[in-house]
Amino acid sequence: MTALTDWVVEHIRAALRTRAMVPGATYSGYQLAAELGISRSPVRDGLLRLAAIGLIEFTPNRGFRIIQPTETDIAEIYALRIAIEVPAARRAARILASQQGPTSPVGDVHDFILATIGSRQGRRILAQLRDQLLAAPQIPGHGSADHQAIRRALTSYNSEVAGELMRRHLEHAALSRLTIMLDGNPEAAANVWRRVGAPEPAGDAARRRSC
């Protein structure tokens, strides 16, 4: 049953990536079970898992709707990711330096970093946050150059550069998604980011803690 439930979850994730399923649209759990050729039980379990992270919500008559995140949701998700992934990138570079390896990070760089520092909970939280973004506007061609730069910083064991590149990468992704949601208005996107998501400068945080 767990394998089938995992399959249902991954099927919906893939459908959102390709937009075979559309944010805001309502779908039938019965039809999904028939499409996949399985019973309704693993479909229900998979939908419950996705509902728990806020990706779908149930509707009357056993249907479900894909929840499209709001502008505030997107800003908050990326602010949380910055809080987790920037210090994690710095720490991963230091760990790789102490181990002298590997020469090239493998797989998804975001997950690789958290795996390198041994953060099981961080990986779980990141996976949930990224799942919520599946229903957000897609960013064509985003990420590959940034990921390569982060990999180079990690393999050269430059912790500060790795952290800064990760911060810039996530902030750019946040602003890109917000701009698409706000009808191509980058100024409105920047205002949302400053209001909700922009991380506080370290010096300001330190001064407030001393008050």
Per-residue pLDDT tens for 114-123? 999 999 999 9
Confidence of residue 101 (pLDDT cuts 50, 70, 90): low
Higher pLDDT, 200 or 72: 72
Q: Please give the C-alpha separations between residue 127 and each of 19, 56, 99, 142, 152, in angstroms, as whole numbers.
A: 19, 15, 26, 18, 23
Q: Containing H/E element for 28?
A: strand 26-28
The answer to whether the CB of 126 falls within 8 A of the CB of 81 is yes
Report pLDDT for 103.
61
Confidence of residue 210 (pLDDT cuts 50, 70, 90): very low
CA-closest candidate to residue 153, choices 209, 101, 93: 93
Q: Which residues contact 55 (CB under 8 A, 6 or more apart)?
A: 12, 66, 67, 131, 132, 134, 135
Mean predicted confidence (pLDDT) in 80-95: 97
Q: Does residue 211 carry a pLDDT above 60?
A: no
Q: Which residues contact 123 (CB under 8 A, 6 or more apart)?
A: 111, 114, 115
Distance CA 191, CA 74 (A): 13
Q: Does residue 204 carry a pLDDT above 60?
A: no
Distance CA 80, CA 156 (A): 26
Report pLDDT for 200.
60
The answer to whether the CB of 73 falls within 8 A of the CB of 174 is no
CA 151 to chain CA mean position, Å? 18
Report pLDDT for 169.
96
CB 8: neighbour CB atoms within 10 A?
Answer: 23
Report pLDDT for 201.
53
Q: Does residue 10 carry a pLDDT above 50?
A: yes
The answer to whether the CB of 84 falls within 8 A of the CB of 125 is yes
Per-residue pLDDT tens for 144-189? 899 999 999 999 999 999 999 999 999 999 999 999 999 999 999 9
Higher pLDDT, 202 or 167: 167
Separation of first and last alpha carbons in the chain: 54
Q: What is the mean pLDDT of the chain?
A: 90
Report pLDDT for 198.
74
Q: Does residue 206 carry a pLDDT above 70?
A: no
Matching residue, tokens 């379990």 = 45
